[in-house]
């Protein structure tokens, strides 16, 4: 049962990333954001979120509570907010194109 709930939560996060992938200005059209993320994926500029989730889970265990797709310097970055089992919240940035976790300050 717990695995099913976690699976549903992850699928919900996937939906959030696809619907509102970019930290866009409030006056931007959500359809434009979705189209931009899809185009980036289709043109091979970013990896699919499902692949990235496997990387994050292996390196930073805990509950993923938020995911954003942002532009950081010249890279597209998946930004994950994770709550560890001890209750600490951490931010994990993953290079969306290369599929690797970025070190603190990398890409600034």
3-state SS, the chain, equals CHHHHHHHHHHHHHHHHHHCCECCCCCCCHHHHHHHHHHHHHCCCCCCHHHHHHHHHHHCCCEEEEEEEEEECCEEEEEEEEECCCCCEEEEEEECCCCEECCCCCCC
**For residues 29-58, average pLDDT:** 84
| In a domain? residue 87 | yes
pLDDT at 65 over 90: yes
pLDDT of residue 86: 93
Q: What CATH number corresponds to the domain at position 61? A: 3.10.450
| In a domain? residue 58 | yes
| In a domain? residue 106 | no
pTM score, whole prediction: 0.66
Total tally of structural domains belonging to the chain: 1
């Amino acid at each position: 049962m717990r695995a099913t709930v976690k699976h549903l939560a992850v699928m919900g996060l996937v939906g959030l990333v696809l619907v509102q992938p970019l930290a866009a200005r409030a006056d931007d059209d959500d359809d434009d954001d979705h189209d931009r993320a899809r185009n980036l994926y289709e043109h091979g500029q970013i990896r699919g979120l499902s692949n990235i989730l496997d990387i994050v889970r292996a390196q930073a265990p805990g509950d993923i509570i938020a995911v954003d797709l942002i532009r950081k310097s010249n890279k597209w970055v998946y930004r994950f907010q994770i709550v560890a089992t001890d209750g600490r919240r951490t931010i994990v940035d993953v290079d969306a194109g290369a599929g690797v976790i970025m070190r603190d300050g990398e890409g600034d």
